[in-house]
Amino acid sequence: MSSHSPHGQSPLRTVQVLGGGSAGSCAHVRSLTSGLVARGVRVTVCAPTAADHTYDFTGVGADHVPVPRRNDPASVAALRAACADADLVHAHGLHAALRAALALSGRGVPLVVTWHTPPSAEGARARLLRVLERRVAKAASVVLGSSSDLVDRARSRGARDARLAAVALPARRRPVGAGEDADRLRPKARAELGAIDRPLLMAVGSLDRHRGYDTLLDATRAWRGLVPVPLLVIAGEGPLRGELQRRIESEGLPVRLVGRRDDIGELLGAADLALLPGSPESRSVLAQEALHARVPLVAAATGGVPELVGDAAEVVPYGDSRALAEAVVGLLADPDRCERLKDRGTRQAATWPTEDETVAQVLSVYDELTRPLPLP
């Protein structure tokens, strides 16, 4: 469909609302916006200014309205003004959805909510989040879950309509994994990281509590005795950086923290294995990038990861450093197993939706919610 003006009406007007702006949800909104605009839909993106600077929503045809990452009255008022002439509002994540529900209160405008990740919290905060989830689930016309576990979660929180809507990995995030470019870039990347004559293991993600990095560092002890010793490179920044660096130095672990990088595709394409010791994302970007790049993956069974990777990765229990270490050591010693995983990864990645299919599914939901009622 080249344009979206059914029944001779003016184009559909949508507002996309982002909260904290995780990398996965921001990349999805940019991809979705690009596809919607190409189909004649008017799109306004409400997001923190920093998110627009990084993801350039205006560059793919959206209007950007800066809305800070807060639930204060000014934030809700800015959102209410931005949604004044919207036919439909689509919020991404729990906090964005809560703000959108407040801004739309009493307006009768359809609200679509995408849950990208389950919230991570304990104790009193976990109880508060359950209350917020129930409020959002009941306010939404449709809740889209990026994995089956999130669809089940939305239903358990009272959503009247919850559907699976897998989020495509944007093409611009696809790593260089095979072919002439990879063959040319791989030696350079390995040399820069100090892994010319040793296996290179890659982990990527913010350095926070829910990513399983403590378990990963525990696991590295098991391969210190290998010859040559594999090098683990962790790309990302976060609150655990100092703590992890102290552990690496005090325990003499074969690990390098390289901070936030904008060449993850090249680094991953140069790796022998990708490691995902934990992921708050239901559709882990690293898992998708690894399978696209034909890099064997060892992943902890968290959230939607097992559903995402199928039999195309070594999946181990979350928090089990011994199982993680055994999987890594086993793969390094078994090139045939690695080749089988690469082939399975290619087949598994082919089952994931394309960006175009993702846009088409979301647009069909919009159509359903905004279609004029038939005359009696």
Do 116 and 240 fall into the same domain? no
pTM metric for this prediction: 0.85
Partner residues linked to 255 by β-bridges: 232
Do 197 and 151 fall into the same domain? no
Contacts for 171 with CB less than 8 Å, ≥ 6 apart:
355
Number of domains in the chain: 2
| CATH code of 201's domain | 3.40.50.2000
Do 186 and 163 fall into the same domain? no
Asked whether residue 62 is domain-assigned, the answer is: yes
- Cβ burial of 263 (10 Å; 0-12, 13-18, 19+) is middle
Q: Range of 359's domain?
A: 6-168+354-370
Structure confidence at residue 2 (pLDDT): 43
Structure confidence at residue 8 (pLDDT): 47
**64-68, 160-164, 281-285, 372-376: lowest mean pLDDT where?**
372-376
Closest among 310, 319, 314 to 349, alpha carbons compared: 310
The position carrying tokens 């009768």 is 108
Between the alpha carbon of residue 134 and those of residues 130, 140, 146, 164, 275, the distances in Å are 6, 10, 18, 18, 34
Do 197 and 330 fall into the same domain? yes
Do 206 and 328 fall into the same domain? yes
Do 305 and 180 fall into the same domain? yes
Do 143 and 223 fall into the same domain? no
With a cut of 90, say whether residue 23 has pLDDT above it.
no
Measured torsion, CA atoms of residues 276, 346, 31, 261, in degrees rounded to the nearest 10: 40
Q: Are 11 and 41 in contact (CB under 8 A)?
A: yes
CA distance 345 to 310: 9
pLDDT per residue over 179-233, tens digit each?
Answer: 545 566 788 889 988 888 899 999 999 898 889 999 999 999 999 889 999 999 9
Asked whether residue 1 is domain-assigned, the answer is: no
pLDDT per residue over 65-124, tens digit each?
Answer: 998 876 677 888 999 999 999 999 999 999 899 999 999 998 999 999 999 888 777 788
- The pLDDT > 70 percentage for the chain reads 91
Query: Greater confidence, 315 or 50?
Result: 315
Do 120 and 156 fall into the same domain? yes
Do 219 and 245 fall into the same domain? yes
Do 129 and 240 fall into the same domain? no
Structure confidence at residue 113 (pLDDT): 97
Partner residues linked to 143 by β-bridges: 113, 162
Structure confidence at residue 7 (pLDDT): 44
SS3 of the chain: CCCCCHHHCCCCEEEEEECCCCHHHHHHHHHHHHHHHHCCCEEEEEECHHHHHHHCCHHHCCEEEECCCCCCHHHHHHHHHHCCCCCEEEEECHHHHHHHHHHCCCCCCCEEEEECCCCCCCHHHHHHHHHHHHHHHHHCCEEEECCHHHHHHHHHCCCCCEEECCCCCCHHHCCCCCCHHHHHHHHHHHHHHCCCCCCEEEEECCCCHHHCHHHHHHHHHHHCCCCCCCEEEEECCCCCHHHHHHHHHHHCCCEEEEECCCCHHHHHHCCCEEEECCCCCCCCHHHHHHHHCCCCEEEECCCCHHHHHCCCCEEECCCCHHHHHHHHHHHHCCHHHHHHHHHHHHHHHCCCCCHHHHHHHHHHHHHHHHCCCCCC
Do 77 and 187 fall into the same domain? no
Do 252 and 328 fall into the same domain? yes
Asked whether residue 108 is domain-assigned, the answer is: yes
CA distance 100 to 158: 18
